[in-house]
Amino acid sequence: MANPPPIFPQNTIVLFILFCIIIGKLGPWTNALSLDFENKLRNDSESIRTASNDYGNLIHEIPSSILFPSRIDDIIQLIKSSNARSIPFTIAARGRGHSVRGQAMTRGGVVVDMTSLSKNGNRIRIGNNALGSYVDVGGEQLWIDVLHATTKHGLAPVSWTDYLYLSVGGTLSNAGISGQSFLHGPEISNVLELDVITGQGNFVTCSRNKNSELFFGVLGGLGQFGIITRARIILDKAPTRAKWVRLIYSNFSDFSRDQEHLISSNAPNYVEGILITNENTTNDWRSFFSSSSNQSEIASLLKNQGLLYAIELVKYYDNQTANNIDKEFQLMLKELNFIPQLIFSSDVSLIDFLARVGNSDNNPNGQLETHPWLNLFIPKSRISDFNAGVLVNMLPKLNDTSGLFIFYPLNKNKWDDRMSAVIPDEDIFYTLALLHTSLPKEANIFDKFNNQILRFCENAGIKVKQYLPYYKSKEEWIKHYGSKWDIFQKRKMQFDPKMILSPGQRIFNSV
């Protein structure tokens, strides 16, 4: 289907912004800034093409133009110019474009290329206060760069995502989860302070104690209330190495019980789970792990039951703790019920572990692939039903040999309910990530499969919540937010009353 035309002709918004600057509608901007602004708004074919696509490669919305800011004032100026219109144009902040359903797009509006801010110097700075060490990071910065910058000083954030080539502002607008989240909470739980440009063009510094309504709203807020331009993130002493294993299970009860046991203790530093539906999964592990396992045994188990489970378990250490790491690790393993002869093990540097997933932007086939992902949070009380109905009865039937399926528990008490992120109302809940990769012509097969899972949960009364949510109607969003909807809507009216920001989420905008 052809893309619909922009709501506004491509030059209209550019000309309007410049006109507002000239007549002084936007406040006391300097002449130098006014003259410079024109060069930062582009609508050439390459800029438009990039801004109308994302990692999902499923939805394409054509903007009117793209702003390449060199400083924060450029973004403020853009948002104020939209507010000055009788009919405002929409604005979407774009980091590395790793949304999968057009969330960082806007049809006929302006996309802000946040990465452009990093071209004028380093925006990663380490500091200290009475509470300890922290790092101030530009919202456009990548987590991989935060890792390298902080570990040079023997420090590191404590919570990460599995993939580090994501922007800080983008992940904090969702939550940012990984195998450390059971212990330290998601990335949004480890933020001390933010600089945010609201939907009214106001530059606000906020924290738990200062402008807290904006602070809690923006974290996990899907870009609805403001654009994050700086985040102050907690740092701790960085370990230097990671002892890393993957343990295979054939029994779901053993698998889930062991995962829940592990996240109830402080013994491991990282716990995730992997669903194995074909031999390609464990064959691929051999590039990271040494193993005494018999691949034919894995193949035989898969042939008999169609699905295996694996726990990914990591404990960090350094020179001071190196003498005890093997003993401590073995004590952890003795309490688990995995298949003894099927263990994959490795010992790597901290950086090699955290950066184990390479930069997917370097994939030469990226333009030929789609990623129709589904990410869910599932309440622990229904996890056995979910396993029987979805993992056992549906997942093995899906002919997906290149996807990655992740499944592990999280602790609710590590999340702050004042933030906008939505999770199940149980002490323990699981996250499922179905990270499908397909050809464009096959994407509908995976979308149909994802919808079958959602229908199964609806019919079975399993109250799942989508992570990285995608809905097409306001009614679905109201159901998603549940008891949080009223405060979410109130914050929108307070910080972005003209519904300018992040229209691609389709919460308050139809497109």
Predicted TM-score (pTM) of the model is: 0.92
Q: Over pLDDT 70: what percentage of the chain?
A: 90
State residue 292's pLDDT score: 54
- In this structure, what are the phi and psi dihedrals at residue 283, rounded to the nearest 5 degrees? -60, -40
* Cβ pair 199, 225 in contact under 8 A: yes
- Of 61, 74, 113, 162, which one is the catalytic site residue? 162
* Cβ pair 139, 227 in contact under 8 A: yes
At 305-330, the pLDDT tens digits run 999 999 999 999 999 999 999 999 99
CA 153 to each of CA 236, 238, 312: distance values in angstroms, whole numbers, following the listed order: 11, 9, 28
3-state secondary structure of 280: helix
State residue 276's pLDDT score: 94
CA 79 to each of CA 63, 168, 347, 366: distance values in angstroms, whole numbers, following the listed order: 15, 21, 49, 32
Q: Beta partners for 430?
A: 378, 409
Joined together, the tokens standing for residue 303 give 């042939």
Regarding beta strands 110-113 and 91-94, do their DSSP bridges make them parallel or antiparallel, or are they unpaired?
parallel
Residue 27 pLDDT exceeds 50: no
Smallest CA-to-CA distance from 302 within 246, 342, 250 is with: 250
- Quickly state the pLDDT bin for 31 (edges 50, 70, 90): very low
- Quickly state the pLDDT bin for 290 (edges 50, 70, 90): low
Residue 424 pLDDT exceeds 70: yes
* Cβ pair 418, 216 in contact under 8 A: yes
The yes-or-no answer on residue 98 being catalytic is yes
What is the rounded distance in angstroms from the CA atom of residue 188 to the CA atom of residue 432? Answer: 19
Residue 283 pLDDT exceeds 80: no
What is the rounded distance in angstroms from the CA atom of residue 33 to the CA atom of residue 269? Answer: 48
- Of 98, 184, 371, 436, which one is the catalytic site residue? 98
Residue 361 pLDDT exceeds 60: yes
- Of the chain, the end-to-end C-alpha distance in Å amounts to 16
State residue 364's pLDDT score: 66
- Quickly state the pLDDT bin for 403 (edges 50, 70, 90): confident
Stretch 300-309: mean pLDDT: 92
DSSP per residue, 239-272: PSEEEEEEEEES-HHHHHHHHHHHHTSSS-SEEE
The yes-or-no answer on residue 148 being catalytic is no
Number of DSSP helices (H) and strands (E) in the chain, helices first: 17, 20
What is the rounded distance in angstroms from the CA atom of residue 499 to the CA atom of residue 507? Answer: 10
- Of 258, 272, 369, 496, which one is the catalytic site residue? 272
The yes-or-no answer on residue 61 being catalytic is no
